[in-house]
Amino acid sequence: MCKTKIHQFLQDLPKCEHHVHLEGCLTPELMFTLAARNGVSLPDTEKRPEFSSPATLYERYEHFTSLDDFLSYYFIGMSVLQQQGDFEALAWEYFQKAHADGVHHAEVFFDPQEHLNRGVAFDTVVSGFVAGCRRAEQEYGMTTKLIMCFVKHLPASDAQKVFDLAVEAGHFESGALHGIGASSSEVGPPKDMFKEIYATAYSKGIRRTAHAGEEGDPSYIRAALEAYKSQRIDHGIRLIDSPSLLQQVAKDEILLTVCPVSNVKLRCFDHISKVPIRTFLDAGVRFSINSDDPAYFGGFILHNYCSVQEAFDLSIAEWRTIAENSINGSWVEQERKSELLNLIDDHVRAYQE
Ligand code: HPA
Ligand SMILES: [Zn+2]
């Protein structure tokens, strides 16, 4: 993979990432290091032999059976994060990889409820992740935004508490946090369980996105758009089951943050070629391509771009459309968008000369 000329083009193509969970960037190596340093016990290896070493965990990650199966590992993994420096180190590891993959602008998710439930202070989490973001901005000239996700498997009242903490701390006004999202188990919890929080966010002008239509049917996407007034949809792949909603999403210029490798690893599709990339392109649905939980799914953003290219053999004009849509769908100032659009123009011209 990534040996041919087009793969070099994809590596150097200026990218925006909109759908990556920082906790999903925790490699087994860092997990074991932090567990030892912080005195955190990972599961008993008698009962769970996959927790014997990074190698055995990587092997287990090859066989996720569903979103919830993956999430059970994801939530155990993040339990090793305890100190401000752990959160900073995790974010910095991600930004180094993203930079190497040609990411210029990254909007990254994190799940504060899980950390608070383990007794980690909200400020420890936010200040650690913010420090990682600032370092990426200073060292790489990247632009970054932090998006706080609410998790659907915990009570909505917990989500409300964490949202109130963020608002009271002035994090949205200061720019430490930029938006809200909703993630974790999809099918089961009420589709609109955070509707009061999203209504408050809307009234305060806080950006809104939500995971929907990953395992759940199109009614989950409709609920995110209607009950949450969500400005983006994370995943949204089940739109293929509703041509009318697909047309509406195209018309309303809602950006889908698609994660092709994740969709195969979590068995939403049996092969990348089934991810509706071609359908979305043909219908004029805007989407970006993203890594979701790269440490668990075997590759960062470039791996997703290259896997899509292998499966769909897209033209340079189609890649240009994807790259431009992902810039236009970013939550960043117009001046920065123009700068990134110019970089794409230069890159495509240089390739064609
Ligand atoms: O792909 C995902 N879906 C839902 N929740 C998540 N949390 C981390 N990754 C995911
Ligand atoms: Zn996700």
* pLDDT of amino acid 5: 87
- Do the beta carbons of residue 105 and residue 330 sit within 8 Å? yes
DSSP designation for 271: S
Which percentage of the chain shows pLDDT scores above 90?
98
The CB of 262 under 6 Å from ligand 1? The reply is: yes
Does 67 score more than 70 pLDDT? Answer: yes
How far is it, in rounded angstroms, from Cα 56 to Cα 153?
27
* Atom 3 in ligand 1: residue holding the nearest Cα: 184
- Angle formed by the axes of helices 84-100 and 122-140, nearest 10°: 30
Strand order in the sheet with 179-183: 15-17, 103-110, 143-151, 179-183, 207-212, 232-235, 255-258, 287-289
Pairing of strands 143-151, 179-183: parallel
The CB of 21 under 6 Å from ligand 1? The reply is: yes
- Do the beta carbons of residue 89 and residue 81 sit within 8 Å? no
Q: Give, in degrees to the nearest 5, the angle at Cα 317 between 273 and 99.
A: 75
Tokens linked to 64? 């996720």
The per-residue pLDDT for range 123-145, each reduced to its tens digit, is: 999 999 999 999 999 999 999 99
SS3 content of the chain, % helix, strand, coil (to 5): 60, 15, 30
ipTM of the complex: 0.95
The per-residue pLDDT for range 85-115, each reduced to its tens digit, is: 999 999 999 999 999 999 999 999 999 999 9
In which band, very low, low, confident or very high, does the pLDDT at 353 lie, cut at 50, 70 and 90? confident
Please give the helix or strand (H or E) that residue 162 lies within, else none: helix 156-168
Does 300 score more than 70 pLDDT? Answer: yes
Torsion of CA 91, 308, 286, 291, to 10 degrees: -20
How far is it, in rounded angstroms, from Cα 198 to Cα 235?
19
CA-based end-to-end distance of the chain: 24
The CB of 82 under 6 Å from ligand 1? The reply is: no
* pLDDT of amino acid 1: 47
Q: How many residues does the chain have?
A: 353
* pLDDT of amino acid 296: 98
Does 215 score more than 70 pLDDT? Answer: yes
* Atom 5 in ligand 1: residue holding the nearest Cα: 184
Does 3 score more than 70 pLDDT? Answer: no
Distances (CA, A) of 81 to 18, 90, 152, 154, 321: 23, 9, 21, 19, 38
Supply the mean pLDDT for the chain.
Answer: 97
The per-residue pLDDT for range 22-45, each reduced to its tens digit, is: 999 999 999 999 999 999 999 999
Domain 5-352 CATH class label: alpha beta
Distance 335 CA to ligand 1 centre (A): 31
Please give the helix or strand (H or E) that residue 209 lies within, else none: strand 207-212
Determine which one of 88, 186, 214, 215 is catalytic. 214
The model's pTM: 0.98
Domain ranges (residues) in the chain = 5-352
